[in-house]
Chains A and B, each alone.
Chain A
Amino acid sequence: MEWERADLEARLCRALDISGKAVELFAENGYVDSELPENSFGADKVIAETAMLIYIASAAGSANVTRRVDEIAQLLLPHARSARMRLDMALHPALCLDFAFPHILLSELGYRDCAVDDFLKSCLSSRARHGHERPPFATAEKLWVEQLLTGEQPDAAWRHCLRNTVLNRGLDILGGQRDDAYALTHLVMYCTDFGFRAGKFPRKPALILDEAASLLAKCLDAEDYDLAGEVVLAWPLTATPWPAAAAFGFRVLARVEDAVGVLPGGTTRVDRLDRLQGPEKNRYAFATAYHTAYVTGLLCAASLRPRRAPPVEMIGPPFNARLLDRLVDRIECDQGHWQAEFMKLTRSEQEALGLFLLDIVIAQKCRKRDYAAVSELLVMADKYQSARSPLCGQAAELLERLAAYARTTQPRLIASN
């Protein structure tokens, strides 16, 4: 049984409504946070992200969504093709695709402007066009935008670029930085053109999705719902049947959104929200919450496409009941809204999530630096032939590195077990 379509559509419409307001508030001058400058962002960010949201939403196949997509496109058009945007393209030809990104997406949606196209082409013909250094995932992003612009299929340069990304090399799930994880989630978006094409990946998709599942376990433990939402997107974007872990992730996100009213990101500060009044309060609430609302919208838009809705029930391969009980006994209860949802599941659903639960508990123990418990979990998982996930492999390597570290710095720590 699939997630109810009307519910997915309502969540998407809510995200689209928020995006319309975000454009009104920030598409002119962005947002400046005087107390926490890292929360500040430019107008181009909200314009680009909103264009992306309506791009993916355009295929949802719903009149309510289509009407909103058109309304928001009309709001975006003057900003996406503003004199300032065109001047930026003229001044910075190596970044002109970045500035033109909303224009290109709007063109894909049928809102064309030949004059801007011609101007963009003139900027792209500049000698300085490639004069900007980008990490591999940002290069992949640029190549994807070029494909949208030219209509050309992914070529050798694209394949070469992907070979240097985490899609091919594998993600450092336990020790990586947050933007490494975003590199993975964004690359899936580019490879699949937000679900509009079958993605061609540098590794077997199953291996990438296994890493995504382990990453999701870490995100749910950390209550990082912004990132968790982007990770879950990997399944509907690749049109891969939802495994129990992804279906469970979707359910947790939906329940958290229902509880709060909007899927919470990590930047809204309740005390500050309490202090602010009137328009400033609205601006602060939108500036710090809109992005996670967009992630909900992306996820529901992708899930609304035919045969991509998440299942309501968690279904998976059998899992050893004794191991499941031992894992449940070891759950850290200090954080994680997933726990309440997990406890509501039937026993067979919990068993379907056995491997995922193992990943979560390992992530918890790593967070608490309880490496003795990680070691015990790996021994336990090996005994039941369940140490199969990328997170299990990376946890084993982490312990090996720590053991090597101990040998080099504190030889007395070495003790035979």
Chain B
Amino acid sequence: MTNEELVKRFIDSKAVNFDTIGKLVTELGPELSASKTHINMVLIGRPCIIACMMPAAEAATLVGQLHGTGTAEALAKATG
């Protein structure tokens, strides 16, 4: 089934109030986050040569904050 067909199938089914579902999922959010963390902790232990599994995110706060606060300067200084 193509992606377009999947979308059509969903549209044809039209039966649910997604506003309410969104609120419901948001209410369950903290529990979902906790289990996600657990999964991550297990998977990080997987042996793999190229280990890019350091925690992600919050780059949002880094751009605009990092500039002028040290990382780039520390790297530049150290690399000459």
Chain A residues engaging chain B, CB cutoff 8 angstroms: 14, 17-18, 20-21, 38-39, 41, 45, 48-49, 52, 95, 98, 101, 132, 134-135, 137-138, 141, 145, 177-179, 182, 186, 189, 222-227, 230, 256, 259-262, 264-268, 270, 273-274, 281-282, 285-286, 288-289, 291, 293, 335, 337, 369-372, 374-375, 378-379, 381-382, 385, 387-390, 392-393, 396-397, 399-400, 402-403, 405-407, 410, 413-417
CB distance from B10 to the nearest CB of A (A): 4
A68 to chain B, nearest CB (A): 11
Chain A residues whose CB sits within 8 angstroms of the CB of B3 once the complex forms: 387-390, 392-393, 396
A260 / chain B contacts, CB cutoff of 8 Å: 62-63, 66-67, 71-72
22 of the cross-chain contacts (CB-CB < 8 Å) are A49-B51, A138-B48, A178-B53, A179-B44, A226-B54, A260-B63, A260-B66, A261-B71, A268-B62, A270-B61, A274-B70, A285-B75, A335-B60, A372-B22, A375-B18, A393-B2, A393-B3, A396-B11, A397-B10, A402-B25, A413-B20, A417-B14
Question: Are the CB atoms of B55 and A266 closer together than 8 Å?
Answer: yes
Nearest B residue to A266 via CB reads B56
- Any chain A CB within 8 A of the CB of B33? no
Provide the residues of chain A in CB contact with B29, threshold 8 Å: 369
A residues within 8 A CB of B18?
A: 371-372, 374-375, 399, 402
Distance of A371 Cα from B63 Cα, bound (Å) = 29
Point out the residues of chain B lying under 8 angstroms from A410, CB to CB.
Answer: 20, 24
Cβ contacts under 8 Å, A95 to chain B: 47
- Closest residue to A230 on the B side, CB-wise? B52
Residues of A within 8 A of B11 (CB): 378-379, 382, 396
Instruction: Kindly list chain B residues whose C-beta atoms are within 8 Å of the C-beta of A222.
Output: 56-57
Known A-B contacts A256-B63, A285-B71; the reply to A18 vs B22 at CB < 8 A is: no
Residue from B8, B19, B47 in contact with A98 in the complex, judged by beta carbons closer than 8 Å: B47
Q: Which residue of A lies closest to B68 (CB)?
A: A261
Query: Whole-angstrom distance from the CB of B80 to the nearest CB of chain A?
Result: 8
Could you give, for residues 26-63 of chain B, a 1 whenever the CB lies within 8 Å of some chain A CB and a 0 otherwise?
A: 10010000001001100110111111111111111111
User: Given the complex, which residues of A lie within 8 Å of B63, measured CB to CB?
Assistant: 223, 256, 259-260, 264, 337
Bound together, the chains give a CA A293 to CA B14 distance in angstroms of 46
Give every chain A residue within 8 A of B77 (Cβ-Cβ).
282
A224 proximity list for chain B (CB < 8 A): 56-57, 59
Q: Are B22 and A281 in contact (CB under 8 A)?
A: no
Q: Are B21 and A413 in contact, CB atoms less than 8 angstroms apart?
A: yes
Find chain B residues with CB under 8 A from A397 CB. 6, 10
CA–CA, A301 and B75, complex, Å: 20
Assembly CA distance A98 to B61 (angstroms): 35
| Contact between B56 and A227, CB atoms less than 8 A apart | yes
Q: Is the CB of A179 within 8 A of B59?
A: no
Please pick, from A261, A337, A385, A414, the residue contacting B66 in the complex, using a CB distance under 8 A.
A261
Are A289's CB and B46's CB within 8 A?
A: no
> Min CB distance, B56 to chain A, in Å?
4
Residue numbers in B under 8 Å from A177 (CB-CB): 36, 39-40, 43
Chain A to chain B: the 10 pairs with minimum beta-carbon distance, closest first = A261-B72, A393-B3, A285-B74, A396-B10, A371-B18, A387-B7, A403-B16, A372-B18, A393-B6, A264-B62
A378 vs B12: C-alpha distance when bound (angstroms) = 12
Chain A residues with Cβ under 8 A from B71's Cβ?
260-262, 264, 268, 273, 285, 288-289
Instruction: Say whether A267 contacts B54, CB under 8 Å.
Output: yes
How many angstroms from the CA of A416 to the CA of B78 in the assembled complex? 64
Q: A387–B4 contact, CB under 8 A?
A: yes
Q: Which listed residue, A293, A389, A402, touches B21 by the CB 8 Å rule?
A: A402
A362 to chain B, nearest CB (A): 11
Q: Which of A266, A286, A291, A379 sits near B59, CB closer than 8 Å? A: A266
Is the CB–CB distance between B49 and A48 below 8 Å? yes
Tell me how far the C-beta of B8 lies from the nearest C-beta in chain A, rounded to whole angstroms.
6
A169 to B65, CA, bound (A): 40
> Measured between alpha carbons, how far is A256 from B66 in the docked complex, in Å?
11
CA separation between A382 and B8, bound complex, in Å?
7
